[in-house]
A = this chain, B = another copy of it.
Amino acid sequence: MTQTDAHSSEAQLDAATVPSGSTSTTPKPRRIAVLTSGGDAPGMNAAIRAVVRAATFHGVEVVGVRRGFQGLHQGDMRLLGPRDVANIIQRGGTVLLTARSHTWRTPEGRTLGAGHLKAWGVDGLIVIGGDGSFHGAHYLQQEHGIPVIGVPGTIDNDLYGTDHTIGYFTAVETALDAVDKLRDTAASHERIFVVEVMGRHAGHIALDVAVAGGAEEVFLPEEEHPAEHIAQVVRDSAAKGKASSILIVAEGYPGGGEAVARAVEAQTGLDTRLTILGHIQRGGSPVSSDRVLASRLGEAAVLALIEGKSDIMVGRGNGGMTFTPLHETWEKSKDVSRDLYRCAKTLSV
């Protein structure tokens, strides 16, 4: 095991394992902009703070854009100093607000946004969000030549190019807290609990919650099980002497938690309760892992712009920084760990 933790040194830039973005010889930016886009995620504020503070440290000014690309389109922006981001590292949500923008999908909308950036003298843009948001950034770079850097901020952890995304750890913790509470009642009552957690396209949250929550079974978006199998899980569980069962279902599993709950009730007749956690998984004060990740990535994004990189996402992998071309983040996918999935099965014995 090697422990490479060095940040974006020249040496590392040459390293084969680091997919480098396009590195130009343009002069260091004097003013950059930052926005948050898409669904909010805990730790976005920590990332904003890191961008503003790191830029200040390196003599670069920062403009904060409100409401994501919609605000960029409307020119809703203002200068941010290091004190403006004081006392936000521990807050959920995003002080820059976020929105889904329809106008940004048109070249005209993006031209307007690029105009605002140029009017403000902005030399580069940092976008904190998911792959949808990176699409928007990529077009801005392609069409208007504005350097863009993506910072992975989404609770789903489904972004190729980074081990973890900002917000993921907190979302797992929130869902796990709910499972722990249900376990108290499940153990007291001898019931079946079905818990639907977020994850439309990927089962990362569901799998971690299932392992950490000691669930009897986990249902991922990747595969559908026949109703009979679902019932068998519950029956096997009872046969092993377990008084109750907790089943974790990713939002993206066919039919969601409701389908699983219905299958259990129909097949076993047992008292089954469904909990849909929903948006509470997006909120809350970020846990330490999300704050540390956001601090590292926010700084890395500023350094990347200073070094002339563009059209890439900064991330963490193999104990070091990673730089992934933005287009790969939506073209490639990051699977859940099959190894952890197997571990979950083994430990529910």
A interface with B by C-beta (< 8 Å): 1-3, 5-7, 17-19, 36, 40, 42, 46, 49-50, 53-54, 56-57, 82-83, 86-87, 89-94, 97-99, 161-163, 169, 172-174, 176, 178, 180-185, 187-190, 193, 208-209, 211-214, 240-242, 273-285, 287-289, 291-292, 295-296, 299, 315, 317-319, 322, 324, 334, 337-340, 342-343, 346-349
Contact = CB atoms under 8 A, between A and B. Distances in A.
A86 B299 contact: no
Nearest to A243: B97
Q: Which of A283, A338, A347 has the most chain B CB within a 10 Å cutoff?
A: A347
A26 B163 CA distance: 37
A278 B273 contact: yes
B291 A188 contact: no
Q: Which of A17, A291, A295, A339 has the most chain B CB within a 10 Å cutoff?
A: A339
Given A190-B97, A240-B83, A273-B278, A295 B185 contact: no
B98 A322 contact: no
B319 A214 contact: no
Top 10 A-B residue pairs of the complex, sorted by shortest distance between their CB atoms: A181-B283, A92-B184, A1-B317, A93-B184, A184-B283, A93-B188, A212-B291, A212-B288, A40-B188, A89-B214
Given A287-B287, A299-B346, 11 more contacts: A7-B342, A53-B349, A83-B241, A86-B242, A97-B187, A97-B188, A181-B281, A181-B282, A209-B288, A211-B292, A299-B347
27 contacts: A1-B18, A1-B161, A1-B162, A1-B163, A3-B317, A6-B339, A40-B184, A53-B349, A83-B241, A86-B242, A87-B214, A174-B181, A176-B291, A181-B284, A182-B280, A182-B283, A184-B282, A185-B279, A209-B288, A211-B291, A211-B292, A212-B292, A273-B278, A275-B276, A275-B279, A275-B280, A299-B343
Given A190-B99, A212-B291, A278-B273, A5 B340 contact: yes
B339 A5 contact: yes
